[in-house]
A and B are shown apart, each in its own frame.
Chain A
Amino acid sequence: MIGWKSRLRLTGWLLGTLTVIFLIYQWLPIFTLGLLSFSGPTGGTTFPMNGTSLHWYEEVWRATVMNDFKPPLLRSTLLAAACAVTTIVLSTMAAQAMRGRFRGNGWFFYLMLLGIMAPGILVGFGFAIMMRLLGVELSWDTTTFLVQVSWTLPFGFLTMLAVFNRFDTRVEEAALTLGASRLTTFRRITLPLIVPGVIGAGLFGFSLSYDEYPRSMFTIGPDATLPLAVMAQLDRQITPEIYAIGTMTTLFSLIAVTLCTFGLWAMRRSTSLRRA
């Protein structure tokens, strides 16, 4: 019979091994995707790589009529930027409204949560039917934009709620006591302090919109966004070209996350310095 201390250590090792195995399991496909995207011109969709080259990246750049990823890439980027800006404005307004504890703010909160809980396939499909009944043409810059904001907005809202929860209201009080109007106080005091959180909400909106598939699929109209173009290409033929696009997209997301984490960290640092 081994003592409970060594048994505890044994559990620790077992759980640790499991965690490491899972992390490998989770990351290995992503690294493989990156590795295979650099395979030679004769490379297939799996190992062996048949040499290393930038062939498939060139292939993405050199467009053919059948598969040209540049217009979808441009559309996805513009759409994501528009969603980010809309998310920033609306979520800041909504979070500021929650501070005012207006009548029915509980319902409002659940309405926003519903946007996160409701699956994209139901929202996208329902919205497509609604547009069909209203006789509205589907298009990436109108209908898809409307639906995607309903997905990015709740995340921005939760971010801004968290930001305002940590916010020190005494600085606002000081400004108001000194005779500044509420609007001036918000513009000159509150806004500069919450800017890192606002940027976080914007990056959230950007990356969620950029990667969104089900909501876009039902509401897109004739011109596809990047995830839809990738899926369409997948249906025709799988080549390392898709891996090249996947690698670029993943790198892009990773950079966005790093910026986001850094922004929040900087904000926490600046607020904690102020408290000290």
Chain B
Amino acid sequence: MSTIRVRSPASYWLAVPAAAWMLGVVVVPIVLLVWVSFWGGRTFSTTSPLTFDNYARFFANQTYVKLAMSTVVHTATLMAVTGVLGYCIAYFLTMKVRSPIWRMALFLAFIVPFWTSTLIRAIAWIPFLGVNGVINQTLMFVGVTQSPIEAFLYSRTGITMAQVSLYTMMAAGPVVYMLNSIAPALREAAMTLKAPPLVVFWRIVFPLTLPGVVIGQVLVFLNVMSDFATVATIGGNKHALLSNLVLLFYEGSQIRAASVVAVLLMICMLIGVVAALRVVDIRRLGADR
């Protein structure tokens, strides 16, 4: 017994406002995007004939196809870097730090920046990356180079460096959760049976944390694919990924071209999420093992 009766009409009506809001603001606009991307003709109206011309035009342009490729490569790079880094940090925080206070302090130091503005954190990289930036000043002071390297600000390297600091937490968070749910008895049993530490890790711990790894990778993937703000802040207008192209077309009032890119972005994301779900059954995560 509780303040709400199971399967009562009241429970249904309480959910209606939130459901209507999400349907109207998230689902309908995304379906609309797909529809608009097929619109032909000159006018922007619902009576436009449907064609594949917008897509044909996109794929006919080598620059755009190359951009799509480099977006995929860039995203894969970030997934690899944040994945490895995030796993190491998650493993250290949950398995190696014994004192609860230290663990809490390190964990907070790790996740707190996540709560501040991503845009501001991206901007915070500007004083580091410029020609006279902190990194170049340090390199010249140490004597690694004589003249400043121009490879940081307005470059792919700079974007990657900033995004690694922004998104490693997303790769690590789910792994921390999975590591915490492993019963210590499992590892002890394996150790008692004389398995060396590396085998224990590879055969016991890692498979059990795999769902966490996959979910972290999905989060990084989705965020990097759609993060045009960091690319614009650090890459200037020299570098662009698919998401920046949406913005570029939108600002140029090429709505149909923008929606083509948006739909392609959406397809990439769907493929990524579906592939991840084939590895991990997300609905079984909460269930007891």
Cβ of A253 and Cβ of B15 under 8 Å apart?
no
Answer whether A45 and B126 are a contact pair too, CB < 8 Å, given A29-B165, A121-B226, A153-B21: yes
Q: How far is the CB of B23 from chain A (nearest CB, A)?
A: 7
Q: Is the beta-carbon distance between B10 and A27 smaller than 8 angstroms?
A: no
B18 closest partner in A (C-beta): A94
Check: B106 CB closer than 8 A to any chain A CB. yes
- Least Cβ distance of A15 to chain B in Å? 4
Given contacts A29-B165, A33-B124, contact A125 B117 (CB under 8 A): no
Residues in B neighbouring A44, C-beta threshold 8 A: 132
Q: Does A62 contact B (CB under 8 A)?
A: no
User: Looking at chain A's contact residues, is the secondary structure mostly helix, strand, loop, or mixed?
Assistant: helix
CB of B89 within 8 A of CB of A19, answer yes
A94-B14, A97-B4 as given contacts; A126 in contact with B29, CB under 8 Å: yes
Q: Judging by beta carbons under 8 Å apart, are B11 and A97 in contact?
A: yes
**A19–B92 alpha-carbon span in the complex (Å):** 8
- Greatest chain B CB density within 10 A among A8, A154, A234 is at A234
Interchain CA distance A123-B265 in the complex, whole Å: 12
A26-B113, A30-B121 known; A93 vs B92 contact (CB < 8 Å): no
Complex CA gap A111/B20 in Å reads 10
Asked whether, in the complex, the Cβ of B112 is within 8 Å of the Cβ of A122, the reply is no
Complex contact A125–B258 (CB within 8 A): yes
- B25/A127 in contact, CB under 8 A: yes
Given contacts A90-B17, A211-B116, contact A246 B123 (CB under 8 A): yes
Q: Which of A8-45 contact B (CB under 8 A)?
A: 8, 11-12, 15-16, 18-19, 22-23, 25-30, 32-33, 36, 44-45
B225 on the A face (CB < 8 A): yes
Chain A CB within 8 A of B32 CB: yes
Q: Which of B232-248 contact A (CB under 8 A)?
A: 232-233, 243, 246-247
Q: Is the CB of B28 within 8 A of A227?
A: no
Contact bitstring A92-103, B, C-beta under 8 A = 1, else 0 = 011011111111
**Contacts A45-B130, A47-B127 known; A214 to B30 CB distance under 8 Å?**
no
Out of B124, B165, B228, B255, name the residue touching A32 (CB < 8 Å). B124
B265 in contact with A234 (CB, 8 Å): no
Determine if A16 and B92 form an interchain contact, defined as CB atoms under 8 angstroms apart.
yes
Which residues of A are in contact with B by a Cβ distance under 8 Å? 4, 7-8, 11-12, 15-16, 18-19, 22-23, 25-30, 32-33, 36, 44-47, 90-91, 93-94, 96-103, 105, 108, 111-112, 114-115, 117-123, 125-130, 132-133, 146-147, 149-150, 153-154, 157, 169, 172-173, 176-177, 182, 185-186, 189-190, 207, 210-211, 213-214, 217-218, 227, 230-231, 234, 238, 242-243, 246, 249-250, 253-254, 256-257
17 extra A-B contacts, CB within 8 A, seeds A46-B128, A249-B120: A30-B124, A32-B127, A94-B14, A94-B15, A99-B2, A99-B3, A100-B12, A115-B22, A122-B30, A122-B226, A123-B26, A150-B25, A172-B3, A173-B2, A230-B119, A246-B123, A250-B117
Query: What are 28 A-B interface contacts by the 8 Å CB criterion?
Result: A23-B109, A26-B168, A32-B124, A32-B127, A33-B127, A46-B134, A93-B18, A100-B10, A108-B19, A112-B18, A119-B223, A119-B269, A125-B33, A126-B32, A129-B33, A130-B32, A150-B22, A150-B25, A153-B22, A157-B18, A173-B2, A190-B3, A214-B228, A218-B250, A246-B124, A250-B120, A253-B117, A256-B115
